[in-house]
Structure 1
Amino acid sequence: MDQKQLEEKIIQRYQGEEKMMILVFAQWCVNHDLNPEELYLRAYPAQVSNSALKEALELVVPKEEAGEIGDETLLGVLSLFGNDDLAFVVTEEIAKMK
């Protein structure tokens, strides 16, 4: 495998993991009766539309069918991908719930 192929493989893997992070975020929102698109827009107002979030929304299940996603789990996943602005908005929502 040459350098270019290796770089492409790393990028593809990162993008796949990023999609999983977005799915975890979207499912956590649904589980807490929150609109993922609204929270995302609060965190990133310049990004009116996010195709990865739209894809994730097609995969989420009703909260009655979903497994529990802990607040700390979500915040940890967001942190791994450097989504500090989104983590801040999520933290605000967590505080409102308590």
Structure 2
Amino acid sequence: MNRKEIEEQIIQNYRQEEQMMILVFAQWCINNDLDPAAIYLRAHPDQAENPALQQAIELTVSKDEAGEIADEMILNVLSLFGNEDLAFVVTEEIAKRKATERKS
């Protein structure tokens, strides 16, 4: 492989991993009865139309079919990709859920 091919392979790998991060985020939202598009829009108001998110949402399954995605895991995945804005909004949603659980 020449240098250009290696760079293209690295970019392709990153895109695939980024798509997996978006899918994990979308499934976490579904598992927690949240709208992935609405949560994403709060973090990134300038990205109302996000094809990668739409594709990920189409790939999600019902929360009954999905495995659990721990809050810590989604926050770690978002941080790994430098998506701090989305991690902040997710943290807000986790706090809301935990406050509601304490009241119950």
Common fold by TM > 0.5: yes
Deviating runs (4+, > 6 A) in structure 1?
none
Q: Which residue does 2:101 correspond to in 1?
A: none
Alignment of 1:34-45 (within 5 A): 34-45=34-45
Computed over aligned residues only, the root mean square deviation of the Cα atoms, in angstroms, reads 0.3
**Does residue 1:28 correspond to 2:24, yes or no?**
no
**Does residue 1:53 correspond to 2:53, yes or no?**
yes
Q: Which residue does 1:2 correspond to in 2?
A: 2
Equivalent position amino acid for 1:16 in 2: Q
> 2: CA distance between counterparts of 1:96 and 1:61?
24
Q: Identity of paired residues, percent?
A: 67
2:45 match: secondary structure: coil
**Structure with the greater alpha carbon radius of gyration:** 2
TM-score normalised over the length of structure 2:
0.94
Q: Which residue does 1:81 correspond to in 2?
A: 81
Could you report, residue by residue, the CA deviation over 1:36-73 in whole angstroms, capped at 9, with x for unpaired residues? 00000000001111100001011100000000000000
- Would you say how many aligned residue pairs link Structure 1 and Structure 2? 98
5+ residue gaps, structure 2, are 99-104
> 1: CA distance between counterparts of 2:56 and 2:48?
16
5+ residue gaps, structure 1, are none
TM-score normalised over the length of structure 1:
0.99
